[in-house]
Amino acid sequence: MAASVDDSPAVRRARLSPDERRTQLIALGVAALAEHPLGELNIETLVADAGVSRALLFHYFGSRQGFQREIVKTAGDSMLQATEPDPGLAPLPRLTDTLRRTVGFVRAHSGTFSSLVRGPASGDPQIRAVVEQARLLQTERVVALFRELGAEPSPRLRIGLRGWLAFTEQALVDAAVGEQLTDEELVELLQDALHGIAERLEPAASRVLFGL
């Protein structure tokens, strides 16, 4: 007697728990960011690659926007984990090390990074909130360097640090599409820019971190 469709080896291999299937779909979405902006991800292609229906994807995520939010959050968490500051280093070497690993991440995942930093272009406020939360955490990482050395950043410097982060994102996007700068040259550019902003807005705090 022939095996039923539901009992075929192919179906058995593809049978995943709801959590596993959800994770698989998010992973496919994150991988697709390397080649396509968030708003251009093809849902039909993704569900075909996963071997599921469009209806099942919407069952798990509620909507296209819900799926996109999970993709952005997962990709952002991956970058934050890959660039987690090393607490075993002194503040300035820690900054340099974090920037090196950030540059390395962007070189390896340039398409994904470009999609992440352009996430706020999405019309979905929750997607913008996910990206904004990641930016706040990145800013706080720099604030922590000053604070650890006993220099609480002023409101002026905090605003400057947010501006530096925007500059960093654009510099990394530009550098990822070419080889105009080596990794070390790019790290030096970003660190010099931070030094310049801090020196201009709060010289005492700048000297605490950079020692100049």
At 109, which CATH number? 1.10.357.10
**pLDDT confidence tier of residue 6, bands split at 50, 70 and 90:** very low
Residues 134 and 202 in one domain: yes
| Distance of alpha carbon 12 from the chain centroid | 35
State the residue for tokens 């039923």: 4
Is the Cα dihedral 188, 194, 195, 200 positive or negative?
positive
Residues 120 and 82 in one domain: yes
Give all strands (DSSP E) within 38-183, no chain letters: none
* Among candidate residues 37, 21, 65, 17, the one with its CA nearest the CA of residue 173: 37
Distance of alpha carbon 208 from alpha carbon 212, whole angstroms: 8
With 0.85 as the threshold, say if the pTM is over it. Answer: no
Give the structural domain span for 205.
Answer: 72-210
Structure confidence by residue, pLDDT tens digits, 120-178: 555 678 888 888 898 999 999 999 999 999 999 999 999 999 999 999 999 998 887 66
Residues 165 and 133 in one domain: yes
Q: Count of domains in the chain?
A: 2
Q: Does residue 106 contact residue 176 with C-beta atoms inside 8 Å?
A: yes
At 22, which CATH number? 1.10.10
